[in-house]
Amino acid sequence: MKDRINPWISLIPVIIGVFMVMLDTSILNIALPEIAQDFRASASDVQWLLNAYLITLVVLLITMGRIGDMVRRNLLYTGGMAIFTLGSYLCAESWSIGAFVTFRIVQAVGGAILTGNSMALITELFPAGKRGAAMGVQSILIASSFALGPVVGGWLTTRMGWHWVFYINVPIGIMGVIIALLLLPSTGRRVREPIDIIGLMLLAVGLGFFTLGIIQGQDWGWRSEKTMASFLISFSYLIAFGVREITYDHPILDLSLFKIRNYSTGILSLFFLSLGLSTSMLLLPFFLQGIKGLSAEESGYWILPLPIINTVIAPMAGRLSDRINPKIIMSLGPVFFSTGLFLLSRIDMDVRFWDLIPIFLVLGGGMGMLMPVAMNVMMSSVPIHKAGMASGTIQTSNSLARAMGVAFGGVLFTGKMNDLIPGYGNQIPGPMQIEFLRFLAGKGFPGPLVMIVDSFMKSLHQVFLDAIPLVITSLLIILLFLKGREHLRVIGRTEPGVEVAA
């Protein structure tokens, strides 16, 4: 009976799983100060609540996607939802920072299963030529979680305590597991071969140390022995992993996937857009909550136009990509997004909500034009029996891009701050610091506030401008390498020999 369910109905549990994971990524940041206070933990201890999750996620994404090709993906996905829900409950019940970090790793295992298999499930649920709109829905979830996280997290933390940032996942997760068992048809199990344990270990160490180097590099120093050792270990293991996968009969990552032109082009274009997105968007909450003096909830409301327009554009762009040359739509994405970044580089500290709306509409429109279309083109270009492997690889690339973007944005911002204020250090001024400077200004000492705010705005503008070349790189990759005609042929919209602009 489940096999005859409309794929849009079967998509519901997929949506629940993806939204839980994506929302959790942004919702926790707001609760970190209260968590630190409750556990009397240092800033670095609390930071590991984020780092342990991210490293585990990146390490396992490809593996979990590949396992989904070997077993019943619907059951694996349902199990991932159960693990994520259990991890959320344990996080809420944590009695120490050490236990908390451990339970975040449990959460990340579930998150890797869900994230690594979501696009593969969409590929299996929807036939070629019908996936674009469904990929648009996934893009909506990613964009919406970015804006809703601070709102939901701020409301829960303020009114009910930080525990509810995790408790909220429990009823949603239980409902998702039940719905998945009822609505998800049997999928996956297209490959019957042993899991490459050695390759898995080489990949885990390589990606783990690479991610560690990225997220700790700014604190350790980019030229420090710890950072350099992390990258040296990472590159050594990743090279060994590449050699292993080329020579082993049952690789966990078939490197021949990257010979598929549209797949490689899509990964690279999304990587650079995600890099530019994370580099620039990192600083918006600091601007809104620090310079503008908004609460976490209020800043979330200010950013809402971005996911709202994405909600409108993404499914339309995804659907169109199965009807017209996707190269046209994908090319417009970076153009709109880079235009939005340029407009952001012109704002001042007195900018109003209504002034930001058109800028966020341009940014959200750019995201909505590229992300779902790229995902649709990539997943349509790979063999169906490698959908999980392809999905996990895409998500790994995007996760690394986001981590690198946060680090890159921090380096660009603090570098400019140090140019303007010699000896400033490598910290981004937070709301509490700005509030203290306002207190001093009210007592007759306005100098520090004026200096920090002026330097902050100049540094903010510089980061927005520096992110534009990353987005333009995404555009150039699409223009030079994407074969839109090939996608239309794959999904059966054109026949060989019919001319469609590349």
CA distance 331 to 476: 8
The confidence score (pLDDT) of residue 42 equals: 65
- Closest residue by Cα to residue 155 from 267, 31, 68, 317: 31
What are the φ/ψ torsions at residue 258 (nearest 5 degrees)? -75, -5
In degrees, to the nearest 5, what angle opens at C-alpha 304 toward C-alphas 301 and 305? 130
Q: Map tokens 């690394």 to a residue.
A: 400
188 three-state secondary structure: strand
The confidence score (pLDDT) of residue 176 equals: 92
Radius of gyration (Cα) for the chain, nearest Å?
Answer: 22
Q: Which amino acid is at 300?
A: G
What are the φ/ψ torsions at residue 430 (nearest 5 degrees)? -95, 175
Q: Which two tokens stand for residue 201?
A: 């270990």
CA distance 320 to 293: 41
CA atoms within 13 A on the CB side of 63: 21
- pTM listed for this prediction: 0.85
DSSP states of 190-239: -------HHHHHHHHHHHHHHHHHHHHHHHH-TTSHHHHHHHHHHHHHHH
The confidence score (pLDDT) of residue 496 equals: 41
Residue 292 CB neighbours (<10 A): 18
Can you state the angle between helices 326-344 and 261-281, rounded to 10 degrees?
20
The confidence score (pLDDT) of residue 273 equals: 92
CA distance 278 to 422: 26
Q: Which two tokens stand for residue 280?
A: 């620039």
DSSP 8-state class, residue 290: I
Q: Map tokens 């000492």 to a residue.
A: 445
CA distance 300 to 353: 12
Q: How far is CA 99 from the centre of its chain?
A: 26
> 215, 222 in Cβ contact below 8 A?
no
Instruction: Name the stretches of the chain with pLDDT < 50.
Output: 1, 495-501
